[in-house]
A and B are shown apart, each in its own frame.
Chain A
Amino acid sequence: MRRRVQTFAVHGVLVVAALLTVLPLLWMVTASLMPAGEASAVPPRLVPSAATLDHYRALFARLHLTRALLNSAGLATAVTLVSLFLNSMAGYGFAKFRFAGRDRLFRVLLGALVIPAQVAMLPLFLILRALGAIDTYWAVVVPGMASVFGIFLVRQYALGIPDSVLDAARVDGAGEFRIYRSLVLFLCAPVLITLAVFTFMGTWNDFMWPLIVLADDRLYTLPVALANLAGEHVQDTELMMAGAVLTVLPVMLLFVFLQRYYVAGIMSGGVKE
């Protein structure tokens, strides 16, 4: 009897919490399908009287969000590819080679995790400006080329590669880069997928840095374009919700399909002290 009460209570709380958690996202979707003005009805509506895709059409046809969507996808892909390459090399280097000063260097890198990114932003802007990279895609890609977190993640995983496997490849005459390219990358595939998901989502969702370095609205990423629209179209609730859905949906789909890897990444960061 007590157990049944407990089961009921636990599931009751879980269901209510889950409903409250999805409600804002659910309303975002339904409101984006409502005819103009309906989302501001009193009392508020949850379901559209007649679903319409007009606002999505307006986003693409009138407000040119296609461009922002492509910018976001392209930039997130570029940052992901470049940083996967550099981070995987460095993570492997820190895990499997014993060069002088290695451990001290790695500790310095880890210590840098306490430094908020905003500390570097002002000089970084000036440096990129001197290089002529401000207001170009480069300004978004360059600071994301490598990350301490990514190096750490790959290193922890690469520590588990047996030295005997690498030595066997060396005996067979394979060069160091070849071993990395055809053996290490293959063995580290799970952690690289984790890192790819993290980096892609992080870049896609990033707001402050693209806001600072992109002034030309043709280069805007979705979050920057959306924040901009939110200022101009405060009254167009349904249109703004369509914009929010467009911004959120790609990363959410990515998460749903790859959540196993994503969650594994968080745990590997949290559990290993």
Chain B
Amino acid sequence: MGRGRIDPGWGFVAPALLAIGAFFFVPVVASLLLSFTDFDVYAVARPDRLRLVGLGNYARLVAEPRFRTALANTAYFVIVGGPLSVAASLGAALLLEAKVARWKGVFRTVFFLPVVTTLVAVAVVWRYLYHPRHGLLNLLLGVFGIGPIDWLGDPRWAMPAIILLAVWKNFGFNMVIFIAGLQSVPERLYEAARMDGASGWQQFRRVTLPMLAPTFLFVAVVTMIGYFQLFAEPYVMTQGGPANSTLSVVLRMYEEGFRWWNVGYGAAIAFVLFAIILLLTLVQLRLRAREAIP
């Protein structure tokens, strides 16, 4: 390739970079800038009425009880729902990778089915499953003598109900990743452990878990990022209720930004969410990096 000629590589990457740049990076930067302004429904019509408010939006957010509720609810969803999801995924993967297990392909497909369904559609379905009087879930629990629970009507149960739906919907995804991780553990490690007289549990504890550490890190980070973006489940099933018990950060951003057109304020909410996700991702990467050094 002659001097002065632009490398053809640029020609190949440019269209995608332009698309991502114009419709993702530019909006992200614009969002940060907007979060320092009072851009609202009036400014949508007349942008010259825009005023800089510095960190005003963020200060208002910190003091706003409704936002704090949304943040606490989202944290609840991530902290309880995330580990439950990952545990269900690992459990399913271990069962499917058990030496005695048969029809693995069939079971794997069944466990994976909820992952490919449309969230809105299954949220609609689960809304009926959770019905206190004629929902299947209460019927099932009734068999074990557990009294009828008003899943979506009781502020104490609404978030657990959403977590249960999320675990059901998502566990198949991480299960597949765990299966790949389990299959990459060399068989000779187990053989060596057995020679040393390790029990099944000890093999799991001393061989399987340490060898799965990189998989765990990936699964934990991806699940956390996804769960922080909770939106469609409460939007369809509870609209954030009852008593704001399922109001999430993204739902709060949606109502502020897209329902009331407080764009500056909504952008600040989005950035708080981003900052939290970024911080927690870095913390997880750092923690695991330290663990990896024996």
Contacts and interface: CB of A to CB of B under 8 A. Distances in A.
Interface in A143-174: 143, 145-148, 151
Given A17-B92, A17-B111, A21-B113, A122 B267 contact: yes
Interface string A1-42: 001001100110110011001111101100100000001111
A273 to B, nearest CB: 5
A212 interface: yes
B236 A227 contact: yes
B23 A122 contact: no
Interface stretch (B76-84, B93-101, B154-162): B93-101
Contact of A114 (B100, B168, B278): B278
What interface size band does chain B fall in? 35 or more
Contacts of A148: 20
B190 to A, nearest CB: 16
A56 to B, nearest CB: 15
Interface in A39-54: 39-44, 46
Given A116-B273, A266-B176, A44 B139 contact: yes
Interface residues of A, number: 97
B135 A44 contact: yes
B114 A21 contact: yes
A120 interface: yes
A224 B231 CA distance: 14
A11 B270 contact: no
Main secondary structure of the interface of B (DSSP, over half): helix
B43 to A, nearest CB: 10
* Residue in B9, B258, B277 with the greatest tally of chain A CB atoms within 10 Å: B9
Nearest to A39: B128
A80 interface: no
A183 interface: no
Interface of A: 3, 6-7, 10-11, 13-14, 17-18, 21-25, 27-28, 31, 39-44, 46, 86-87, 89-90, 92-94, 96-100, 102, 105, 109, 112, 114-127, 142-143, 145-148, 151, 176-177, 180, 201, 204-205, 207-208, 212, 222-224, 226-227, 230, 237, 240-241, 243-245, 247-248, 251-252, 254-256, 259, 262-263, 266-267, 270-271, 273
Interface of B: 7-13, 15-17, 19-20, 22-28, 30-31, 34, 44, 92, 95-96, 98, 100-102, 107, 109-114, 116-122, 124-129, 131, 133-136, 139, 168, 173, 176-177, 180-181, 184, 214-215, 218-219, 225, 228-229, 231-232, 235-236, 250, 253-254, 257-258, 263, 266-267, 270-271, 273-274, 277-278, 281
10 contacts: A24-B136, A28-B121, A40-B131, A93-B10, A97-B10, A122-B257, A146-B17, A222-B118, A226-B121, A255-B113
Given A22-B113, A116-B270, A267-B176, 13 more contacts: A23-B136, A44-B139, A90-B16, A93-B12, A97-B8, A116-B274, A205-B118, A222-B118, A223-B119, A224-B120, A230-B124, A266-B176, A270-B181
